[in-house]
Structure 1
Amino acid sequence: MGRYAFGVDVGGTSVKMGLFDETGTILDKWEIPTRKENKGASVLPDVARSLLAKMAEKGIQEKDLVGIGVGAPGPVDDEGTLVSGAVNIGWEPFNIPKAMHAYINVPIKAANDANAAAYGEMWQGGGKGFNSIVAVTLGTGVGGGIIINGELLAGATGAGGEIGHMHMVDDETESCNCGNRGCMEQYASATGIARLARRRLEKDDEPSVLREGKVSAKTVFDGVKAGDKVAVEIAEEFGEYLGKGLAMIASVLNPEAFIISGGVSKAGEILFSFIEPPFHKYVFRHCGNAKFVLATLGNDAGIYGAAGLVLR
């Protein structure tokens, strides 16, 4: 019999799980609800029960498992400790592998969920073939994951890769969700792009398809594809902020590639035409050969990356 690994991606609504063979091929995937009552006390026992049930179903014993990887929504250090808890689940700080070992005795590794997703994209997704990447998630916020020479960079307190909270604008009057003002995610996330659009539309009465309904990142890039002048201006402003921010990151980390995921990435490679010019304008030239690539694993990136923590 071959050897296997489980990848677990703990989210605020559901826990996604995948069974992989030792080559990294996914064999099965499923999910269970995240039960958050009592500070999330049921989450890991529920996960363990589900994994043990899957092992029984497939005839897999503990000795057949290379291990289990877990992605968690909070800062996780190199020892697998959730350093400051996970607010959207109610978890307080604890060591994830140690807690899981109470239910199943195999090697267990844990990482921040965005870092795990980055690892998945490098291992089996859009970043396959690269060894040093920065994954950039453009969703409700802007998330990031850093992998250099095949190693995840979690940082001293597990908060490495929080690129959405790089300071970009000094005179911003609105606060970011983190409490600071002028963070990258206020301009480059899906909500940030919609915010840029509303500000632009309020500036004058120039005709635009964006005046016809609810403004969103999707309607902005649909407008760009239709040749709408105002939509193009908004996309250029978005690209200026993101391209400049990624240039700063490249000048520090010198990655081979940026892997772009999240809802905004559904606009496709047209994004790159707005990100790459400012990136090349601001980047230190010896770090400017980084490629821009779309992620390919979608919502499965987290389970791939979690499994990759023990398989790769």
Structure 2
Amino acid sequence: MLYGGIEAGGTKFVCAVSDENLNILERVSIKTTVPEETMKEVFEFFDKYKICAIGIGSFGPIDINKNSKTYGYITSTPKKGWNNYNFIGAIKEKYNIPIAWTTDVNAAAYGELKKGGAIGLNSCIYLTIGTGIGGGAVVNSKILEGFSHPEMGHILVRRHEEDNYEGKCPYHKNCFEGMAAGPAIEERYKVKAYELEKNEKAWEIEAYYIAQAIMSYVLILSPERIILGGGVMKQRQVFPLIRRELKKLMAEYVEMPNLEEFIVPPILEDNAGIIGSLLLAKDIEI
């Protein structure tokens, strides 16, 4: 059997086909423009294969409520052309196969649990910190979903005492994403995150916001591992600062795991989303 996977990002779509052992036979990267153009290339890729199921991890917000009239849609995205786009409907018009549908970060969390940095565990949270901040959770080996999917980047955080930055989020200003995503770093310091490598104070402030968010996730979900991906987290010097700040914030209220093993970068790196999408396709009961 062959499985298809789509990691649908705001910048690019990664499409892949794998065998039953998740060996990738072919993968392509397609620029995200407008649906008519992007999906034409997606279909041209999958038309070459007889896939039995497909897994999709998409940028959002998306509708994951199967009882909703807009199930399978990308909903209120600012991405031109994709607002209220019937993604699942477009796939079903082409292929009469089972479809797994979730967010890109949920797919990445699932990939890391099954094949990456959380192998052997039953739960994990995957955070991507880059142009925006998104989070996915796997609990008892199942993706966490309710009436919608988690929006972990938009929890509120306390402002660092040395930070006068107002916040970048157009909805909430000083939410986690508004204070700690790449655009907030760039606007605050007038340089890209990777140019701040030696600015320890900047990374201490960044770690303060990330640790606050992790504290909330830990107290609510108690995941067995936190995996931090995305462009900002390629600056590995921030990991020890996050662990130190989390320990301080928790104040020994709950007994924590070994933080060196608890807060880690992704093993699958930039492949977490597409591997997770393929795994979701394989795990559908056909």
1:245 Cα shift? Answer: 1.6
- CA deviations 1:74-124 (Å, max 9, x no partner) are 133153522624431523436543431221111111111222222222222
Q: Which residue number in structure 2 is paired with residue 216 of structure 1?
A: 192
Distance 2:239 2:279 in 1: 28
Tell whether the 8 Å contact from 1:81 to 1:93 is kept in structure 2 after alignment. Answer: no
Q: Which residue number in structure 2 is paired with residue 49 of structure 1?
A: 44
Tell whether the 8 Å contact from 1:118 to 1:135 is kept in structure 2 after alignment. Answer: yes
1:45 Cα shift? Answer: 4.6
Query: Residue type of the partner of 2:113?
Result: M
Matches within 5 A, 1:11-22: 11-22=9-20
Tell whether the 8 Å contact from 2:100 to 2:281 is kept in structure 1 after alignment. Answer: yes
1:195 Cα shift? Answer: 4.6
Q: Which residue number in structure 1 is paired with residue 180 of structure 2?
A: 188
Matches within 5 A, 1:1-312: 3-36=1-34, 40-53=35-48, 55=49, 61-62=50-51, 65=52, 67-76=53-62, 77-79=64-66, 81-82=72-73, 84-93=75-84, 96-158=87-149, 160=150, 162-169=151-158, 174-196=166-188, 198=189, 215-221=191-197, 223=198, 231-268=199-236, 270-283=237-250, 285-286=253-254, 288-289=256-257, 291-312=262-283
Tell whether the 8 Å contact from 1:168 to 1:183 is kept in structure 2 after alignment. Answer: yes
- CA deviations 1:203-231 (Å, max 9, x no partner) are xxxxxxxxxxx63322322x1xxxxxxx2
Tell whether the 8 Å contact from 1:17 to 1:30 is kept in structure 2 after alignment. Answer: yes
Q: Which moved more, 1:180-189 or 1:256-265?
A: 180-189
**Cα gap change, 1:130 to 1:50, in 2 (>3 Å):** same
- The percentage of counterpart residues that share the same residue type is 29
Tell whether the 8 Å contact from 1:24 to 1:124 is kept in structure 2 after alignment. Answer: no
Aligned length: 271
Distance 1:43 1:216 in 2: 29
**What TM-score, normalized by structure 2, do the two folds share?**
0.83
**What TM-score, normalized by structure 1, do the two folds share?**
0.77
Report the 3-state secondary structure (helix = DSSP H, G, I; strand = E; otherwise coil) of the residue aligned with 1:304: helix
Tell whether the 8 Å contact from 2:109 to 2:276 is kept in structure 1 after alignment. Answer: yes
Tell whether the 8 Å contact from 2:8 to 2:56 is kept in structure 1 after alignment. Answer: yes
Query: Residue type of the partner of 1:249?
Result: Y
Distance 1:183 1:278 in 2: 18
Root mean square deviation, CA, Å: 2.6
Tell whether the 8 Å contact from 1:109 to 1:310 is kept in structure 2 after alignment. Answer: yes
- CA deviations 1:27-51 (Å, max 9, x no partner) are 2211233341xxx245445422320
Query: Residue type of the partner of 1:68?
Result: I
1:150 Cα shift? Answer: 1.4
Q: Which runs of no fewer than 5 residues in structure 1 stay unpaired?
A: 56-60, 199-213, 224-230
